[in-house]
Structure 1
Amino acid sequence: MKTTIVSPKIYTYGSLVLGGILRDRGHAVSITRDLSSEGDLTLLSLFSTSQLLDPEIRELASRAPRIYVGGPVGLVPEIVLGELEVDAVVVGEGEEVVADLVEGGPSEEISGLAFLRDGVVVKTDPIPVSDLDHVMPLIPDDLRSQSVRGANVYIETHRGCLGGCTFCQVPRFFGRSIRSRSLENILAEVREMKRRGVTRVAVSGGTGSLFGYGKEVNKEAFITLLKGLAEILGPKNLSVPDMRVDFVDEEILEAVRRYTVGWVFFGIESGSPGILRAMKKGTTPEKSLEAVELAHQSGVKVGGSFIVGYPGEMEEDYQATLDFMEEAMLEDVFASVAEPIPGTPLAKIALDLPREDNPLYREHAGEYRALRISEAEARCFNLMLTGMSCKPVPRIVDDATYSAFLQEVRTQGRDVRRVMGLLEKYKDRIV
């Protein structure tokens, strides 16, 4: 039997790991980004709710003779099973599920699974993987040609997050304690990836500097990890995106400067203390600004991510974010419309919010009213434009950049409204 793992558009790290497990169990398995591919059995790796509405993905699900879905979308399997014609959904971590599922099919004896029986969703409780060290991933030949924010691949060093941000699925999917891989397992994997032509690697896991975290923050383990990876790849070929502002210090930032491309990406989200509290971010604008200044003093460049249109965000909250950006002088800015990912607290908050109070649906009546976009989209668009002028070296917004930003926010707005549509459709089954 031929098993094909389909990871649409980009190879997710999880799909590579599951491919390695099946390969080492003796299965004939291949991995592809091509949605026209299928085998006797298809494993579909999905990371975004909006992928459930992708016509090509829906067509693959309808024609594949046997197909199982895994990835973060499994947090709310009722939506997946309602939208795609699939035989089962992995609702948790897949390493200890995939072989039994492929070899025996859906069963209540398998932990962390959801499937339909006589039109009713049957779910078994997931069990977190205790030992994250795994076999060598299945590395496709074209992994070296992939580019995700400049990296060929994002590798996972640990799972879990100490935070409880309302918009994030990481602590709901992986838990709020930290489980780390061994240094030896990570380095062996990256050596093999380099041998196979991979040149740029990003360290992932939610918050990079939480690697090795136990009863106390083990920053030495994180620094040792960066040094070891840089010795394999070269420092200009390693990046560490996604860091919390409350888990960096001078030593960590010095290691980032020495052993990586020299950037950190902070999830700042808002310049409003009230919105940060509503998000349960666990930080303040003052802490964020201190972290940005510390990074700059260490010779590290900073990218900041921001979320606009969060339920309850008033004009003064949004203005506080603009004020923060002007003071922080970030080298790069990532702006997004608040997305109520199914299974997160934000999803319930958004569902309970009347549409007339949701900036995602309220038409913008200010400076950009001629563009006919929502208030949330207008704030996101303006944040992108402002970010260009608030860089240490300001950038001029030309017509091409203006059009690209506008297209991006319109796409974001459309996708988030589609997610809201799914939440409303399945509200009675998931709330």
Structure 2
Amino acid sequence: MQVKVISPDIVTYGAMVIGGVLREHGHEVSISRSIEETEVDVTLVISLYSTQHLMDERIKNLIASHRKRGGRCYVGGPVSAHPAMVLGELGPDAVVVGEGEVTTPCLILKGPSSDIPGIAYLGEEGMVYTGPSPPSSMKRPLPLIPSDIKDQNVRGANVYIETHRGCIGGCGFCQVPRYFGQDIRSRSIEDILTEVQVFKDAGANRISISGGTGSLYASEHGRMNVPAFVDLLKGIAGIMGPKNLSSPDIRVDCITNEVLDAIRDSTIGWVFFGIESGSEDILKKMRKGATVGQVREAVKRCRKHGLKVAGSFIVGYPGESADDYQKTKDLIEELSLDDVFVSAAEPIPGTPLADLVLSTPQAENPVYMSHTGDYRSLGLSEAEARAFDLMLHADLCKPRFTMTDDRTFNLYLAEVKKQGSDIRRATECLLRYVN
């Protein structure tokens, strides 16, 4: 059977894995980032990684057109956490809910059926949900790599490969522990290195490792397996070269001296911490499971090991006060991070943050509250204003002073306005499907 896997705009690693699995099952499979019509006898598998895809007219029109002509279309990916919303907004034949390595081949072969676990589809009396998908084996075929992988850029890498699934954390804004669970399931280092070589042969120049928190690779019962992680980095660097590997996503409570030395010696030398807030109250509301004191200590240790440190921050969390926000500004000034990423709180389906946003009146939600402070002439919401202000503030606090010019000002302004607009659209989409 002919199958086309579409991952809009960026071909994600997950889409490549599903493509490889389907190829292993004997299908003729192609993969693309382009949202374009194809022959009616080709089954479309669309992998969506952002809630914004549910409101993308290109995707809606593609699915509607393909089905109208008699073709079959299935949707999967992280958006499947709320299958009713996917069915209602996009109207595919079925949704693959959760991990798709086992479910998708069955769906391609049989079509929507109540005896296939992990799918949702519209029956005569409404949505039929067949229950959670079975956890996938970490032993799997090689991914289907697009021919233009070298041209793809995802935060500086051509691809983020998966070394394990699950995360011991329970951050309320994050989908990883809800999608994959909190137990760590790791791939063998031999399989990972074989895959890395295949990506390099296909033209990938830089690879990043992913899995929620990179240093949790091969962990068991919540305890880090530091030697395994060190060997992993050394092995990948031996294929790609140390300046062509990054291991950015690390929890502040998941580092050791050996881990930091390995990152320094085998990668581009950066650590990316999800710091999120300088307020202990907001960190608790976020269920972050880490303290500001741990953040300070982690950044200090990274500097001692000669590493560059980047941090991500979330503003506009429901319940964040002006005092909470000021504590975040103060922490950024104190830490003087090498790079900072700022976003407003987005309610991703299936997360506690989504539940919190849906239960918060709009008048009390910072993404809807009108900003009345220093940036009121820009027409921003309170969440947008805090994000904009924090971006400007972070530039002033970097070790190498960065002057904000008109171009940077306008880029930041456009970014926060887009974030605010996207989050409001996502919130309103969620509201349409609240039981």
**TM-score category by the smaller chain?**
over 0.9
Match of 2:100 among 88, 94, 100: 94
Asked if 1:8 is matched to 2:15, the reply is: no
Residue by residue, what CA displacement relative to the aligned partner does 1:321-373 show, whole Å, maximum 9, x if unpaired?
00000011101000000011111111111111111111111110111000000
Q: Which residue of 2 aligns with 1:42?
A: 44
Q: Distance in 1 between matches of 2:16 and 2:125?
A: 32
- Deviation larger for 345-354 or 220-229: 345-354
**Structure-2 residue corresponding to 1:217:** 224
Q: Does 1:80 align with 2:86?
A: yes
1:14: how far off? 1.1
Select the residue among 65, 70, 75 that pairs with 2:76.
Answer: 70
Q: Give the Cα–Cα distance (whole angstroms) in 1 for the partners of residues 38 and 251 of structure 2.
A: 39
Aligned residue for 1:427, secondary structure, equals: coil
Does 2:380 align with 1:378? no
Q: Which runs of 4+ in 1 moved over 3 A?
A: none
Please give the alpha-carbon distance, in whole angstroms, between the structure 2 residues aligned to 1:28 and 1:94.
18
Instruction: Find the counterpart in structure 1 of residue 286 from structure 2.
Output: 279
Corresponding residue to 1:155 among 151, 161, 185: 161
Match for 1:396: what amino acid? M
Cα deviation 1:287-319 (Å, max 9, x = unaligned): 011111111111110110000000110000000
Identity level (%): 53
- Check the 8 A contact 2:4/2:31 in 1, yes or no: yes
Q: Which amino acid aligns with 1:395?
A: T
Q: Deviations over 1:89-147 (max 9, x none)?
A: 01110001111111111111111111110251111122443521211111111111101
Q: What is the rounded CA distance, in whole Å, between the counterparts of 1:208 and 1:109 in structure 2?
A: 36
- Mapping 1:77-226, distance limit 5 Å: 77-215=83-221, 216-226=223-233
Residues 366 and 381 in structure 2, CA contact (< 8 A), matched pair in contact too: yes
Contact kept? 1:128, 1:174, Cα under 8 Å: no
Aligned-residue offset at 1:248: 0.8
Deviations 1:190-237 (A, max 9, x none): 111111111100000010000000132101111110000000000000
Work out the CA distance in 2 between the residues paired with 1:78 and 1:123: 9
Give the superposition deviation at 1:260. Answer: 0.3
What corresponds to 1:25 in structure 2?
25
Distance 2:347 2:105 in 1: 32
Q: TM-score, normalised by structure 1?
A: 0.98
Aligned to 1:269: 276
The answer (yes or no) to whether the contact 2:119–2:133 under 8 Å persists in 1 is no
Are the aligned partners of 1:6 and 1:33 in contact in 2 as well (CA < 8 Å)?
Answer: yes
Q: Secondary structure at the match of 1:283?
A: coil
Contact 1:9-1:34 within 8 A present in 2 as well? yes
Distance 2:168 2:386 in 1: 30
Query: Structure 1: which amino acid aligns with 2:12?
Result: T
CA RMSD of aligned residues (A): 1.0
Contact conserved, 1:178 with 1:213, CA < 8 A, in 2?
yes
Structure 1 residues 13-55: Cα deviation after superposition (integer angstroms, max 9, x where no partner)? 1111111111122111100011014342100000011110011
Conservation of the 8 A alpha-carbon contact between 1:146 and 1:153 = yes
Q: Does structure 2 retain, via aligned residues, the 8 Å contact 1:6–1:37?
A: no
* Aligned-partner Cα distance in 2 for 1:191–1:8: 25
In the alignment, which residue of structure 2 is the partner of 1:351? 358
Q: What SS is found at the alignment partner of 2:98? A: coil
2:257 aligned with 1:250: yes
Gaps of 5+ in 2: none
> Does the aligned pair in 2 maintain the 1:2–1:29 contact within 8 Å?
yes
In 1, Cα distance between equivalents of 2:168 and 2:153: 29
Q: Could you tell which deviates more after superposition, 121-130 or 411-420? A: 121-130
Alpha-carbon separation, structure 2, partners of 1:18 and 1:301 = 35
**TM-score normalised to the size of structure 2?**
0.97
Which residue identity lines up with residue 317 of structure 1 in the other structure?
Answer: D
User: What displacement does 1:242 show?
Assistant: 1.3
Question: Counterparts of 1:171 and 1:419 in 2: how far apart (Å)?
Answer: 21
Q: Distance in 2 between matches of 1:99 and 1:356?
A: 46
One-letter amino acid of the counterpart of residue 366, structure 1: G
